[in-house]
Amino acid sequence: MKSDIIQGVKAALLTMSVCCVLYTGAVYAVGFLAADKAEGSLIYEDGKLIGSRLIAQNFTSDRYFHPRPSAVDYNGAGAGGSNLSPYSKEIRERAEKIIALNGGGLPADMVTASGSGLDPHISLDSAMFQAKRVAGSRKLSLDKVAAVIEKHTDSNLKIVNVLELNMALNEVE
């Protein structure tokens, strides 16, 4: 009977050390090795936190490319899509504002939120749609802005990370 108790305690200690110490250490090590993703893919400039490669942030200045709308106001603490119909009053009003800023030929992702409301990417079409406004505001040629867009486009998916694109434009000036 006494040996059964000792065997049970040994088994419990072994299980706890494997589950609590070894497993936790292995998960931490994987996170440490993939630190960019584990730490939120944060972008720093001159030691100052600028944003994340994985979470959209709102840009409203004409000097910058604008992201997709966000149903969660770009709050990374929670995600949520929008159930708005493309024919809803809010979407139509949003589309009218964007067309007034950029002109016609509006890509759908400029007026509709992503499923999470936090997608940091826009389509290549959306970037090119905004290029004339950004070039004019920055007093750059459209060709120069288009070259920056092309350089920052994921060629497989034809998407552009808005924060990285805007940071690259700041370096062009």
Q: Which residues are 159's β-sheet partners? A: 123, 154
d(CA 165, CA 173): 13
- Tokens representing 64? 């910058």
d(CA 68, CA 159): 12
Instruction: Inform me whether the pLDDT recorded for 36 exceeds 60.
Output: no
Phi then psi dihedrals of residue 54, to 5 deg: -105, -15
- Considering only residues 133 and 43, tell me which one the structure prediction assigns the higher pLDDT: 133
d(CA 143, CA 141): 5
Name the burial class of residue 78, with classes exposed (0-12), middle (13-18) and buried (19+) by CB atoms within 10 angstroms of its CB: exposed
- Please state the rounded mean pLDDT for residues 76-103: 84
pLDDT, position 45: 83
DSSP, collapsed to helix, strand or coil, labels residue 5 as helix
pLDDT, position 140: 95
pLDDT, position 141: 95
Instruction: Inform me whether the pLDDT recorded for 76 exceeds 70.
Output: yes
Instruction: Inform me whether the pLDDT recorded for 33 exceeds 90.
Output: no
Phi then psi dihedrals of residue 84, to 5 deg: -70, 135
- Tokens representing 145? 């802005």
pLDDT, position 158: 94
48-52 vs 121-123, strand pairing mode: unpaired
pLDDT, position 39: 65
Which is nearest to 137 in space by CA: 64, 67, 72, 36? Answer: 64
Rounded percentage of the chain residues whose pLDDT exceeds 90: 41
- Please state the rounded mean pLDDT for residues 126-150: 96
Least confident of 58-67, 74-83, 88-97, 103-112: 74-83
Rounded percentage of the chain residues whose pLDDT exceeds 70: 96
d(CA 35, CA 49): 16
Confidence of residue 38 (pLDDT cuts 50, 70, 90): low
